[in-house]
Amino acid sequence: MKRVVVTGTGVISPIGNMTETFWENLKKKTVGIGRIDRFDTEKYKTKLAAQVKDFDPLDTMEFKEAKRMELFGQYAVAASAEAIAQSGLALEMEDRTRIGVSVGCGIGSMPIMEKSYEKLESKGPGRIPPLMIPLMISNMAAGNVAIHFGLKGKCINVVTACATGTHSIGEAVRAIQCGDADVMVAGGTEAAICPLGIGGFGALTALSTSEDPLAASLPFDKRRGGFVMGEGAGVVVLESYEHAQTRGAQILAEVGGYGATCDAYHITSPCEDGEGAARAMQLAMQEAGLTEHEVQYINAHGTGTHHNDLFETRAIKKAFGEAAYQLNVNSTKSMTGHMLGAAGAVEFIVCVKTVQENYIHATAGFEEAEEEMDLNYTKEAVSREVTAAISNSLGFGGHNGSLLVKKFIG
């Protein structure tokens, strides 16, 4: 199959709205969590979230275009703009029918549903906003990216809850390997910090109720009490090696493998023995032609819920055996919160930066895990040679995805 490489990255996140800003803040253990300021949280148990700061869609698009997108779409277009710019793709010189889009969103726009329901209740169905449906549906992230940049190849929207970003990139890799596209703009986006979003996840008792921003998102720590909702977007430019080489692109990393499985177990809980997630990691390693001893780092799903972190630890041990104890495992969500459909894509970008710089960021706030959770969860940042890294995502419904990122060697 064709080799697939990464030539551009773009990030909108609670700790920075460009890849380099985001990466530097990860190195500094900057926590992007604070009090929710978009609505009154008095009646909510959860008061904190990881909101994007200082985002202006007009930095990327015209006012009229921005008005026809909800926030999740604006984040996607902005992250794509950074990724395409870094890749050096001269779109006007490319065959745009060979450039596709795979940008997913886990939920779509709950804020427009809230506003539209208020209109329905107060003024009747005749006052529902005419664009409610196209503003709401999650595929508009991919659609708006394609429209903004004039990309006419395969355009898909993967929705697998919290695994959306990972599967979006994985399916984009497959599109290139199968010859459906030469280039794919791929990733995930989300903007669900709103009354329905916080209230809904709160009703599941999945959210942290801590009011201390530095002790709210505590992946793998025995004090953990739920995840903190985040938001933003992560987008990468993927190309066949031949296409990137022909145009003289700077290659950042190579996608070595992709594994996708299902637990077929429960609508919200991962499988207790971690079998499905373990199999996703094993499939990614098999495709890359690597053994468990040749991977140095795992960017874990690591949400900070009791079940996820325990069951993911079991999955890593099942997939890696004794080699699990040689790994560095961390969670970016300790600083960004859980970016839902964007999480896997942003964490894939962390793996790209890690293999480039041989630097593994700390799991912020981590102090001590319970007895069964005995892996190296990277309490402090580490500089070590990283030739292969895996990014894991586990989504409601039992969706598991793993992407293996390799240091690029021509």
Catalytic amino acids? 162, 301, 338
Any idea what DSSP says for residue 342? G
Q: Which residues pair with 401 in a beta bridge?
A: 260, 393
Separation of alpha carbons 169 and 298, rounded Å: 17
* Kind of pairing between the strands at 155-156 and 99-105: parallel
The CA-atom distances, in angstroms, between 403 and each of 135, 254, 287, 295, 370 are: 30, 11, 10, 12, 28
- The CA distance from 386 to 194, in Å, is 38
Alpha carbons within 13 angstroms on the beta-carbon side of residue 58 total 3
d(CA 139, CA 250): 30
Residue 67 Cα to chain centre, angstroms: 25
**DSSP-assigned letter for residue 365:** T
Helix pair 164-177, 343-357: axis angle to 10 deg:
70
For residue 206, give the amino acid letter. Answer: A
Measured between alpha carbons, how far is 153 from 135 in angstroms, rounded to an integer? 22
